[in-house]
Amino acid sequence: MSKKLMHEITEAFVESDLRPLLRALDDNIVWKSAASVKDGTLRFAGIHTGIRDVRAALATIAADFRLLRFKPIEIEESGEIVWGMFYTTIESRKTHRRVNFNCVLRWRVRKGKVVEHQAFFDTALVLKAAQLPDKKSS
């Protein structure tokens, strides 16, 4: 059941439709970003607790990046844990650079609701896409 839920939610991502995700999030969701250090370089970094905080993090991600591809490679579940690996392409809204990488999601699902989310991906690559190139000194 959780496997099907992840498929349905992530298929909507590329259409910028977060409604399936938002409907599936528990009010007390714990959302762990792949970027753990809140130093301003990736504004969505850190752990977000509760639906309000997660909505704010999702809004920040959407303001900074456009998701172009989120193609499932593999989705597996065991008990209340579901893992998915996705071939991902994003574009920075600031620099218009595109990057491709694998993104892994780990969800804990209870009674049809995602109570815990954790993402794993190459944050250095995403940061590189988001940063403007340094100006060369003359």
Q: How big is the CA angle at 7 (ends 53 and 28), to the nearest 5 degrees?
A: 25
Between CA 91 and CA 54 the distance in angstroms is 21
What the block records as the tokens of 2 is 């959780």
* All structural domains of the chain: 2-130 (3.10.450.50)
Percent of the chain exceeding pLDDT 90 equals 64
Query: With 90 as the cut, is the pLDDT of residue 130 above it?
Result: no
Q: What is the sign, positive or negative, of the torsion defined by CA atoms of 6, 9, 11, 16?
A: negative
Mean pLDDT of 87-109: 94
Contacts of 89 (CB under 8 A, 6+ apart): 67, 68, 69, 98, 99, 100
pLDDT per position as a tens digit, 30-49: 999 876 655 556 666 678 99
Mean pLDDT of 62-82: 94
pLDDT of residue 133: 66
Between CA 93 and CA 116 the distance in angstroms is 28
pLDDT of residue 138: 42
Single pTM value for the model: 0.86
